[in-house]
Amino acid sequence: MIRRAIITLCIFLSCTQYLQAQGIEISDPRIRDITNAVIQICHVPSQRGYHWEVRVAADGKAKVRLIGLGAEATFSRGEWNGVREVLTPEGQVSDRQACRKCVETLTPLFLQKFTSFDSK
């Protein structure tokens, strides 16, 4: 339990530093919610349904819904393949570097996709 809290804190700090380096205002509640969703997705990707829902079409495009935000976005086949690549089950919980890479990869993409409710 303590280990999970420490890993979550490290991921959050890493994500916060990344956002600040990109000049993104992290006090915006929407940005904070998206960031928290990414952290949860990367930390425990197997808990799909608690934090996010995914529907993949036959053409490879994916509709992703962040449950806490009620926001939905469509990812191209290439974008979705990139998301799947960093969400591989090997070591997501135990390997901080893999989890950090996941957060660093998904945060900009998810911010781009979910910062406007028009992205449905």
Q: Where are the domains of the chain?
A: 2-119
Task: State which residues of the chain have pLDDT below 70.
Answer: 1-27, 45-49, 88-95, 116-120
pLDDT score recorded for residue 117: 45
pTM value? 0.69
In the structure encoding, which two tokens stand for residue 23, read together?
Answer: 């000049």
pLDDT score recorded for residue 14: 60
Phi, psi of 92 (to 5 degrees): -60, -40
Closest CA to 33 of 117, 118, 94: 117
